[in-house]
Structure formats: C-alpha cells, structure tokens
Chains A and B, each alone.
Chain A
Amino acid sequence: EDKVVQSPLSLVVHEGDTVTLNCSYEVTNFRSLLWYKQEKKAPTFLFMLTSSGIEKKSGRLSSILDKKELFSILNITATQTGDSAVYLCAVLIQGAQKLVFGQGTRLTINP
C-alpha cells in the first residue's frame, strides 16, 4: 500500500523562527513529490520535486527531495504569522497519476 508520512503532526513556534517539516514515503511507482499549503479552503500548490538533491526555493520557503532515502523536507525561514497553516506533502503516482497525501503538519506561528 502506498504511504506518505509527515512529521511532526503539529508544530508551534515564534515568529522569526526557522522550521523544517518532514515527509517520508513508500510508494510502488514514484513520479513526483508535491508540497501544498492549506489554510481554510483547498490546498494551494507550493513545490513539485522530481529530481533528487535539487533545492527549489520560493521566497522564504525551500524544499529538497532525497529519492535514495525516500524523503523530502520543507524549510521556512524567518516565519511569519501568515505562515500558520497545514502543510501537506503528497506523492504523485506514475501511471495512475493520483496523489497520495500525508497526514499534514499543522504549523502555528505565534507573534
């Protein structure tokens, strides 16, 4: 069974801190790994990672994939209260083209 596991499930930090969110996976037919941010509504896309070792950056957010160890991390530096959300990791399965989601990490940034 395809599985995506995120850790921690919940994280509370102060504004300005740096956080690292983890995502590990065990799937039969890996295509890509995606990170999403979910606030009150549907998830919004952050990154898609397909190749190992290549860091993707967008402002204060960055992410990298390790296909040998089957995990990815999402880093957020200089956190702001607007970063508070649930961060979802998902793996895109080759062939079926379906996304398998992890449980999510609920990030709370306190002022």
Chain B
Amino acid sequence: GAVVSQHPSRVICKSGTSVKIECRSLDFQATTMFWYRQFPKQSLMLMATSNEGSKATYEQGVEKDKFLINHASLTLSTLTVTSAHPEDSSFYICSAREGISQYFGPGTRLLVL
C-alpha cells in the first residue's frame, strides 16, 4: 500500500515555541491531506483538510492562526503549532488521500513543557 511519513516522530518543546510537523506521501501524489489530533485514550479528531495550492479547511473549534497548515506540493503538507502550550500536547497524525483511500502517517507525539 501507499506510504506516508511524518517528521519528527516525537518532539518536546518549551511553552511559547513553535513546532513544525511534516507529512509526506512517499510513493504517490496527494492533492488532499488531513491532519488529526488524538488525546490520550480518545479517538482521532479531524483538525483540518489540507488542499494542495489552496487554503486549508479547518474544523469547527480549531484555530487557524494557531495551527498553520501549508500544502506546498503534491507530496508535502506541514502543520505548524504556533506558540505551543502544554494543552497542545497530543498525538498529531496526518493522512493522505489517494482516490477514496486514506493512508495514515505514523504520527508525531508532541509534548509541550
């Protein structure tokens, strides 16, 4: 199946700093990528839909100025958590769409101290 990578896999940062997470589709082109957040013992919550060459579509309650998404090419989308706070600590997972299938990246565990 198709492969999606995420980088970094784990990041620890101080409160107030910004963190960038990359999501890449390795062997296919993805016009649409999705960003999810998962808190401990909870399910995946869709944060935003990232479309190549256009602005991301954010789900209700997700601050677009705090979670900046850039989908600059058909194989790369980035999520930047700006001015991160401890409550942003979570597992961030991206997925890339190919046809009607979605392939998940391995996730990025963010810990904000």
Contact surface of A with B, Cβ cutoff 8 Å: 31-32, 41-45, 48, 88, 90, 92, 96-104, 106
B54 at the interface (CB under 8 A from A): no
- CB of A97 within 8 A of CB of B100, answer yes
The residues of B that contact A99 with a CB separation of less than 8 Å are 34, 44, 46, 95, 102
Q: Is the interface of B mostly helix, strand, loop or mixed?
A: strand
Which of the 9-residue segments B61-69, B77-85, B103-111 touches chain A? B103-111
- CB of A97 within 8 A of CB of B32, answer yes
Q: A101-B43, A102-B43 are in contact. List 10 more A-B contacts (CB 8 A).
A: A41-B106, A41-B107, A44-B104, A88-B44, A92-B100, A97-B32, A97-B97, A97-B100, A99-B46, A101-B44
Contact surface of B with A, Cβ cutoff 8 Å: 1, 32, 34, 41-46, 49, 93, 95, 97, 100-107
Query: 19 A-B contacts, Cβ less than 8 Å apart?
Result: A42-B93, A42-B107, A45-B1, A45-B103, A88-B43, A90-B44, A92-B100, A92-B102, A97-B100, A99-B34, A99-B44, A101-B44, A101-B45, A101-B46, A103-B42, A103-B43, A104-B42, A104-B43, A106-B41
**Smallest Cβ distance from A93 to chain B, in angstroms?**
10
Contact A96-B49, Cβ < 8 Å, known A42-B93, A48-B101? yes
The residues of A that contact B97 with a CB separation of less than 8 Å are 97
The residues of B that contact A101 with a CB separation of less than 8 Å are 43-46
Please give me the residue from chain A that is nearest to B102 by CB atom.
A99
